[in-house]
Amino acid sequence: MFGRRKKSGAAEDAAGEAEQVVEEVGSRDGEASADAPRRVNLPPAPRPDGPWDISEVTTPEDGRVDLGGVFVPGVEGMELRVEVAGDAIVAATVVLRDSAVQLQAFAAPKKEGIWGEVRDEIATGIVQQGGVIDEVEGPLGWELRAQVPVQLPDGNRGVQLVRFVGVDGPRWFLRGVISGQGAVQPEAAGLLEQIVRDTVVVRGDGPMAPRDPIVLKLPNDAQMVPDGVQQEEQANSRFSGGMGQLQRGPEVTEIR
């Protein structure tokens, strides 16, 4: 089952809140702190364990869902949602039990990685919102572990724990946003990290400006379901695994 969520709509679960954070801070080009180290003009780091470029995989469709711009690994029990900007599908979110990882691919310069620069911008945006950032070297390389201010359903203030991961590839950049239990528990994060590693990116040969999103598409046999709607026959869908909606986990902490 595919869930479709407009980016302009209110985020109602952990994956949605993470997407909202990405959209807000990702558009703030050039606002990184002057004191932060500038990591630009660096070539992409090696990717011995993925994620993969389409040229590096013989059969990308094996065990993966073809979304055009990316092939997303299929995992038993997962729900796959797409994120829509205008009429274009620009991101996919894999929801697995009480965790989620959002995947979004962008065009990048031919010989330069952009994750260092993007990381600075995301960190600056979150700090400006009153959040807290910790930059660490994790299983997927350098990442940001963020405490992002959010408003809880009861009106109180809280924090959303989110991990921002990124990988530079040949003329593309793949960003992952891990939320839910996967942002706080290593045992829950392992499968989501493997999903990022096993993703295949299809950049295409056409000209694209750096940071342009690589547009995705739905598989021919996909079933589109509005966000928040459950279908009785979802157990028969090879995309859903019979899973329900993502439930809010302990990643949301109330501030009194």
Residue 131 lies in a domain: yes
Residue 239 lies in a domain: no
Q: What are the per-10-residue average pLDDT scores of the chain (256 residues)?
A: 44 40 38 49 80 95 94 92 86 94 95 93 94 95 94 88 96 96 91 96 93 89 55 34 30 34
Q: How many domains does the chain have?
A: 1
pLDDT of the residue at 218: 86
Residue 110 lies in a domain: yes
Residue 231 lies in a domain: no
Residue 158 lies in a domain: yes
pLDDT of the residue at 226: 55
Radius of gyration of the chain measured on its C-alpha atoms: 17
- Output the domain CATH number for residue 213: 3.40.1000
* Residues 113-146 as b or e (16 or more Cβ within 10 Å = b): bbbbbbbbbbbbbbeeeebebeeeebebebbbbb
pLDDT of the residue at 32: 40
Question: Mind giving me the DSSP string for 158-193?
Answer: EEEEEEEEEEEETTEEEEEEEEEGGGT-HHHHHHHH
pLDDT of the residue at 72: 96
pLDDT of the residue at 1: 47
pLDDT of the residue at 39: 57
pLDDT of the residue at 92: 94
Residue 178 lies in a domain: yes
Structural domain containing residue 146: 2-29+42-217+248-254
Q: CA-to-CA distance for 144 and 162, rounded, in angstroms? A: 8
Residue 162 lies in a domain: yes
pLDDT of the residue at 139: 94
Residue 241 lies in a domain: no
